A and B are shown apart, each in its own frame.
Chain A
């Protein structure tokens, strides 16, 4: 097995004035050359998890656990060390490219500035590198793009620029937080094709954060499902979508209208995801779960336990105390 580029180990993050932790004992890993999905709804903690890998935690947060990037503890690292890590080891692509770029400066400034500041390159060398990067992300006439302003580019083109910027330091780990959610569907497909190509060519470890289960199924090797700050299920993509085991994962798949197969009524999860102001003494999903058992699910915090029954279920694990009694809808859900 490849060495882990990202290792999150029992990470718990608590904010003052909230009833439950933002993250509760989150453990996940991303190895070189693999695409890992982190799926969850709003407030599940998926973005906080990714930000922790950059050493970014909300102000005032109390934490426990470790986050290692390339073997180095980022939560204990000083500012200088963090800057070096972010410049060379790990970078992030955010959802809204327009929010992450200075609108009054040119694309060229955006791309060359970090190279000139962290690597002390001169303007000419940095610009040559910027042109290479823009060509690598598939923008036509890269020299001309350097002189343009963000408002002159479409959302899809600008997201390509952001990806070019994220690749500038030749990181081994790329974190993508809903990188295509703000884009049109066909542009989304093109950006994912680009990310897939770059990931294969460079052997990157890629963490893809998304709310879209279909997208994760289509693009990831392995997937973690988060709910209310906890990992509730992890498996290979094929296993997770072929044989989901946690009631929440089953609910998510039952909530997604399929494009093919016989039309059947959706089976949505009742209620809404719990907020930070709601405590969850047992399983956080219990209040919405059809299988929840009073006195058990609302009191016992379920551990993420490996499943032993799956023949091809290598690494499949779920956090549910009633796992043995819940049938996986398997082929019924995904015909």
Chain B
């Protein structure tokens, strides 16, 4: 079966700083991959390269077996790219147009993608909003009138409207209250199951990644250090950085005092080097 997404040897440097180096993975249809790491790990830069917001220095990205051009020129290529991969950002306040109602935003997306019949678009807007649990009241509202959870649902609906092959979520639930975060997490698992969409889920939160994804790629200083199915990764983390991340998750009987020791073990590694 052709993978939804095939990424090989992605590399991106900003001047002397290597942001991402040697990131490769493959996402099967309906698969979900977690990109895990802390600030500076390269996870957001990787996500931005997937949607074409950054141009990789080298490496390739293929969607459904077709390579994405490193640079996108012209309307048709842009729309094709948008149809391949869509992104949901951490802060829907910044990613939704504040001047448009949610319905208008979705309608605009559909119009851009060649849906010319007005009433068919209206029906599709309603359908997509229903998929994320929003109704006519939210469709008629501007982003500022919605709660954080509703705004993030609207941002997910906007991304789903083009029926992309892959949805990239960059810390998309981090800013939400826990009770609302759980609603969005369940929505994402439903969308994945029902629509067969592949998810690339960028997060620092291993518990959330475990809930949404099948496997995780742990990034440290721009390099992949461990890429395994989540049950394995959580049961027997191999790289000192993965161990540090796991030990950092609060749990009953937690001893955060051991963190400093794990960090020292990590600092003795040359960046990117695998432990024996």
Contact = CB atoms under 8 A, between A and B. Distances in A.
Interface of A: 41-42, 184-190, 192-193, 196-197, 211-215, 217-219, 237-238, 241, 251-252, 254-260, 263, 265-270, 272-273, 334
Interface string B165-179: 000000000000111
A184 B263 contact: no
A192 B256 contact: yes
Given A186-B244, A257-B208, A214 B179 contact: no
A193 B178 contact: no
A8 B45 CA distance: 47
Contacts of A185: 38, 204-205, 245, 248-249
23 contacts: A41-B179, A184-B38, A185-B204, A192-B250, A193-B257, A212-B250, A213-B178, A214-B250, A218-B251, A218-B253, A218-B254, A237-B252, A241-B252, A252-B179, A255-B179, A256-B182, A257-B208, A268-B181, A268-B182, A269-B179, A272-B148, A272-B180, A273-B177
B39 interface: yes
Contacts of B205: 185
A324 B260 CA distance: 46
A189 B247 contact: yes
Given A213-B178, A268-B180, A259 B210 contact: yes
How many residues of B sit at the interface, in one of the four size bands?
Answer: 35 or more
A251 B183 CA distance: 12
B106 to A, nearest CB: 21
B257 A259 contact: no
Contacts of A211: 177-178
B207 interface: yes
A255 B263 contact: no
Contacts of B150: 272
B95 interface: no
Given A41-B177, A268-B179, A184 B39 contact: yes
Contacts of A238: 252
Contact of B248 (A189, A217, A266, A267): A189
Interface string B199-222: 000001111101100000000000
B17 to A, nearest CB: 15
A219 B177 contact: no
A286 to B, nearest CB: 15
Nearest to B231: A263
Given A213-B178, A259-B207, A272-B147, A188 B183 contact: no
